[in-house]
Amino acid sequence: MNDSIAFIGGGNMARSLIGGLVAQGRGPALIRVAEPVPAVREALHADFGVMVFDNGAQAIEGASTWVLATKPQVLRGVCESLAMQAQATRPLLVSIAAGITAAQLERWLGGGGLPIVRTMPNTPALLGAGVTGLYASGRVDAAGRAFADALLSAAGKTVWIADEAQMDAVTAVSGSGPAYVFLLAEAMIDAGIKEGLSPEAARTLALQTVLGAARMLTESDVDAGELRRRVTSPNGTTQAAIETFEAGGLRTLVAGAIHAARVRGGELSAAND
């Protein structure tokens, strides 16, 4: 396949992927973006030198890969408007829309066994520190998988999922996951302030602790449970805190929250059908 890519939608996630691709050395002339908001469109062209258009039909001309980067609730209309071109050119289709299945995309684009890669990146992709779950339909060949992997690797690590039904779990764990960490950081800051720390001190202490713990998790070969045990001295301050978390049912609460997010992903798919 050639390297020409058309982004349908130029929002934050598309911007992060475009920035990553350009940083990797992909020529801006090979990246085409459809974005209806003039200010967003102009900023993409100014910042990255990519070709920009106000509609999808123009952006997809000559592109062998289409990245569907619109909001899920408008994706059906976008796909149906591009169905004739999709059937005529049969591009590799990469979707970053949460909760929209490959079968839905194929149907909206006119059927016919189109090659579709469904992906779920998360917001740290904006910093090149994200993680993306990917699922490939049966029509995607090895070259298509490699191309999609390279595309999403511009935003961070990638994890391939064999069963599309698990994509809602991917969304629940990693797609929504940054918000869970943000909530924990909020709670730590608020608790520090209640214990007498200044807001500035509480914020710095909490955020650097989250950052440092994340680096230990990702840069060490030791799993999370063992790292926790290593910093939990018997009868010490950490043990007192961990016992309070466990007594309060933290694990059950996290499991319930992730389950609720997974179920909601399925509901969103049905709502947009």
Burial 80-111 (b: 16+ CB within 10 A, else e): eebbebbeeeebbbbbbbbbbbbebbbebbbe
Residue with tokens 């713990």: 213
At 50-72, the pLDDT tens digits run 999 999 999 999 999 999 999 98
Which CATH number fits the domain that encloses residue 203? 1.10.3730.10
Domain assignment of residue 108, yes or no = yes
Q: Are residues 203 and 264 in the same domain?
A: yes
Domain assignment of residue 38, yes or no = yes
Q: Are residues 29 and 160 in the same domain?
A: yes
Residue 1 pLDDT > 70, yes or no? no
Q: Are residues 86 and 156 in the same domain?
A: yes
Q: Are residues 13 and 144 in the same domain?
A: yes
Q: Spell out the alpha helix ranges (H) of the chain.
A: 12-23, 38-48, 56-59, 72-81, 83-89, 102-108, 142-153, 167-170, 177-194, 199-219, 224-230, 237-247, 250-271
In eight-state DSSP terms, residue 54 is S
Identify which of 103, 167, 157, 100 has the alpha carbon closest to the alpha carbon of residue 131: 157
CA separation (Å) from 138 to 93, 106, 162?
13, 12, 11
Q: Are residues 137 and 117 in the same domain?
A: yes
State the CB neighbour count (10 A cutoff) for residue 263. Answer: 12
Domain assignment of residue 172, yes or no = no
The domain total for the chain is 2
Q: Are residues 54 and 151 in the same domain?
A: yes
Domain assignment of residue 147, yes or no = yes
Domain end position, chosen among 124, 147, 166: 166
Residue with tokens 């007192």: 240
Which CATH number fits the domain that encloses residue 126? 3.40.50.720
Orientation of helix 250-271 relative to helix 237-247, angle to 10°: 50
At 114-142, the pLDDT tens digits run 999 999 999 998 888 999 999 999 999 99
Domain end position, chosen among 137, 166, 195: 166
Q: Are residues 141 and 245 in the same domain?
A: no
Taken as a whole, the chain contains a residue count of 273
Q: Regarding beta strands 156-160 and 130-136, do their DSSP bridges make them parallel or antiparallel, or are they unpaired?
A: parallel
Q: Are residues 155 and 196 in the same domain?
A: no
Domain end position, chosen among 145, 166, 187: 166
Q: Are residues 96 and 140 in the same domain?
A: yes
- The dihedrals phi and psi of 249, each to the nearest 5 degrees, come to 80, 35
In eight-state DSSP terms, residue 175 is I
CB hemisphere CA count around 202 (13 angstroms) = 16
Which residue type is seen at 192? G
At 186-230, the pLDDT tens digits run 999 999 999 999 999 999 999 999 999 999 999 999 999 999 999
Q: Are residues 113 and 161 in the same domain?
A: yes
Cβ atoms of 101 and 79 closer than 8 Å: no
Q: Are residues 156 and 29 in the same domain?
A: yes
User: C-alpha angle 119/152/129, rounded to 5°?
Assistant: 105
Q: Which domain covers residue 247, as residue numbers?
A: 177-269
Residue 273 pLDDT > 80, yes or no? no
Domain assignment of residue 171, yes or no = no
Domain assignment of residue 151, yes or no = yes
**Cβ contacts of residue 192 below 8 Å, gap of 6+?**
201, 202, 205, 206
At 140-189, the pLDDT tens digits run 999 999 999 999 998 899 999 999 999 999 999 999 999 999 999 999 99
Residue 2 pLDDT > 60, yes or no? no
C-alpha span between 269 and 262 (Å, rounded)? 11
Q: Are residues 186 and 113 in the same domain?
A: no
